[in-house]
A and B are shown apart, each in its own frame.
Chain A
Amino acid sequence: MAARMQQGGRPGGARFAQFKLVLLGESAVGKSSLVLRFVKDQFDDYRESTIGAAFLTQTIALDDQTTVKFEIWDTAGQERYKSLAPMYYRNANCAVVVYDITQASSLDKAKSWVKELQRQANENIIIALAGNKADLVAEQPDKRAVQTADAEAYARESNLLFFETSAKTAENVKELFTAIAKKLPIEQASQRGMRGPAGRPGGVDLGNRQEAGGAAGGPGGCNC
Chain B
Amino acid sequence: MAGEGTRARPPSTSVSTTSSLMQDVPGAFQASVNTSGPDRSDFVSLSQAIHARRSEYVRPKHIRIKVGSWNVAAYKGAEKDVGGWFVQGMGVAEALAGLKVTDQTQVHGENIPQQAGLDDREDVASQEARYHKKQSTLPRNDPGSIPGDSDIGLYVLALQEVVDINSVSEALRPYTDPSVANKWKDAMSASLPPGYSLIAESQLIGMLLLIYASPDVAKDVQSVSTTSVGTGIAGYMGNKGAVTARIVLGDTTRLVFIDSHLSAGTDKGALERRNWDAAQVVARTKFEPIKDSMGLNQSSGEQIGDEDFAFWCGDLNYRLEGIPGDDVRRLLMLHTRNEYDLSQRSARKIESELRSATEAVKHRVEDRLSVYSNGSSTPSSPARSAHDVRSSIDSRTSTDTPPTTIVDELAVSDDPTSLQTTLLSLLPHDELHQQMKLRAAFYDGWREGPINFLPTYKYDAGSVGVFDSSEKKRAPSWCDRILYRTRRDRLTYETKIQEEDDAKRKDDQMRASGLDHAGNDEEILYELYDPEADGVGEEYDEYDEAGENVVVTKEGFEDSIELEYYTAHQRVLSSDHKPLDAVFKLKYDCVIPELKAKVHAEVAKELDKSENEHRPSVTVVVDRHRSDSVASEENSDSDPATFDGVYFGNVRYATARHRYLTIANTGRVSATFSFIERPHGANTSSGLAPKWINLKLADMPSASSSKASQSVTLEPGDTASAELEVRIFDMHTMHALNEGLQELDDILVLRVEGGRDHFIPVKGCWLENTLGKSINRLVKIPEGGIRKLQRQKPGGSSSRSKSVREGGASRERSVSPPQSLQVSSAPRELYKLTTAIEELAGRVVAEWEMTHSSEEVGAYVLAPWQTHPAWPFDQQCWTERNGMQWQDALGEVSNALDCDEPLEQSLPPELPKMQRLYVLANLLMLFLEHMSDGIITASQWTEIKALMTETETSKRKPSLEEQRTAVQDILAQQPSHNISLIFVTSMLERIIAETTPTKRQKDDLVKKPAGTLRRFTGLGKLSAEVAEEESSLLAMARMFAEVVIRSEKVGSEKARIAVARRKAEVLVLFLRRGEGG
Contact = CB atoms under 8 A, between A and B. Distances in A.
Answer yes or no: do A and B interact: yes
Interface of A: 1-2, 5-6, 8-10, 12-16, 18, 39-40, 51-59, 61, 63-65, 67, 69, 76, 80-81, 83-84, 86-87, 190-191, 193-195, 204, 206, 209-220, 222-224
B543 interface: no
B112 to A, nearest CB: 33
B60 to A, nearest CB: 19
A213 B197 contact: no
B241 interface: yes
A211 B684 CA distance: 58
A39 B612 contact: yes
Contacts of B225: 2, 5, 212
A191 B295 contact: yes
Contact of A193 (B296, B598, B755): B296
Cβ-closest 7 pairs across A and B: A64-B597, A219-B178, A213-B227, A59-B604, A194-B39, A214-B230, A215-B238
A18 B229 contact: no
Given A214-B228, A215-B205, A224-B218, 5 more contacts: A55-B757, A193-B296, A218-B208, A219-B175, A222-B201
Contacts of B203: 216-219
B177 interface: yes
B297 interface: yes
Interface stretch (B84-92, B284-292, B415-423): B284-292
A59 B608 contact: yes
Contact of B224 (A6, A54, A190, A204): A6
Nearest to B212: A224
A2 B176 contact: no
B925 interface: no
Given A9-B220, A194-B43, A217-B203, A61 B759 contact: no
Interface of B: 10, 37, 39-40, 42-43, 46-47, 175-178, 181-182, 197-205, 208, 218-230, 236-238, 241, 243-244, 284-288, 291-297, 301, 593-594, 596-598, 600-601, 604-605, 607-608, 611-612, 615, 644, 678-679, 681, 684, 747, 749-750, 754-759, 761
B226 A1 contact: yes
A172 to B, nearest CB: 20
Contacts of B228: 213-217
A65 B593 contact: yes
29 contacts: A2-B226, A8-B222, A9-B219, A12-B295, A13-B292, A13-B295, A14-B293, A14-B294, A52-B749, A52-B757, A53-B756, A67-B46, A69-B604, A81-B759, A87-B678, A87-B749, A193-B43, A212-B285, A213-B227, A214-B236, A215-B230, A218-B176, A218-B201, A218-B226, A218-B243, A219-B175, A219-B176, A219-B177, A224-B218
A14 B295 CA distance: 5
Contact of B758 (A52, A61, A87): A52
B171 to A, nearest CB: 10
Contacts of A218: 176, 181, 201-203, 208, 226, 243
Contacts of A212: 225, 227, 285-288, 301
A57 B608 CA distance: 6
B113 to A, nearest CB: 30
Contacts of A1: 201, 226
Contacts of B755: 55
Contacts of A216: 175-176, 203-205, 228, 238
A214 B238 contact: yes
A224 B198 contact: yes
A201 B1012 CA distance: 84
A213 B679 contact: no
B761 A10 contact: no
A84 B296 CA distance: 36
Contacts of A80: 747, 761
B132 to A, nearest CB: 29
Nearest to B223: A6
A14 B177 CA distance: 38
Contacts of B756: 52-55
A59 B610 CA distance: 12
A54 B238 CA distance: 63
B759 A76 contact: yes
Contacts of A67: 46, 600-601, 604
Contacts of A223: 198
A81 B593 contact: no
A2 B202 CA distance: 9
A5 B291 CA distance: 13
A215 B236 contact: yes
Contacts of B42: 18, 57, 69
B176 A16 contact: no
B615 A55 contact: yes
A213 B593 contact: no
B679 A224 contact: no
Nearest to A224: B197
Nearest to A78: B759
A21 B124 CA distance: 77
Contacts of A195: 39
Contacts of B608: 39, 57-59, 69
A51 B758 contact: yes
A209 B223 CA distance: 13
A216 B237 CA distance: 10
A67 B603 CA distance: 11
B261 to A, nearest CB: 13
B678 A9 contact: no
Contacts of A219: 175-178, 181-182, 203
Nearest to A59: B604
Contacts of A52: 749-750, 756-759
A59 B605 contact: yes
A55 B228 CA distance: 52
Given A13-B292, A14-B295, A213 B244 contact: yes
Nearest to A69: B42
Contacts of A81: 747, 759
Contacts of A64: 593-594, 596-598, 600
Contact of B757 (A5, A8, A53): A53
Nearest to B682: A83
Nearest to B754: A55
B295 A15 contact: yes
A67 B598 CA distance: 11
A217 B202 contact: yes
A18 B285 CA distance: 36
A210 B301 CA distance: 11
A84 B288 contact: no
Contact of A84 (B177, B221, B759): B759
A2 B245 CA distance: 10
Given A56-B612, A209-B288, A5 B226 contact: yes
Contacts of B761: 80
B747 A84 contact: yes
B284 A213 contact: yes
Nearest to B196: A224
Contacts of B291: 6, 13
Nearest to A193: B296
B593 A56 contact: no
Contacts of B222: 6, 8-10, 13
Which of B208, B301, B615, B756 has most A Cβ within 10 Å?
Answer: B756
Nearest to B224: A5
A212 B300 CA distance: 12
Contacts of A5: 199-201, 224-226
A18 B604 contact: no
A6 B247 CA distance: 10
Contacts of B598: 64
A211 B227 contact: yes
B689 to A, nearest CB: 14
A163 to B, nearest CB: 22
A86 to B, nearest CB: 5
A85 B308 CA distance: 53
Contact of B226 (A39, A40, A217): A217
Contacts of B294: 13-16, 193
A21 B373 CA distance: 89
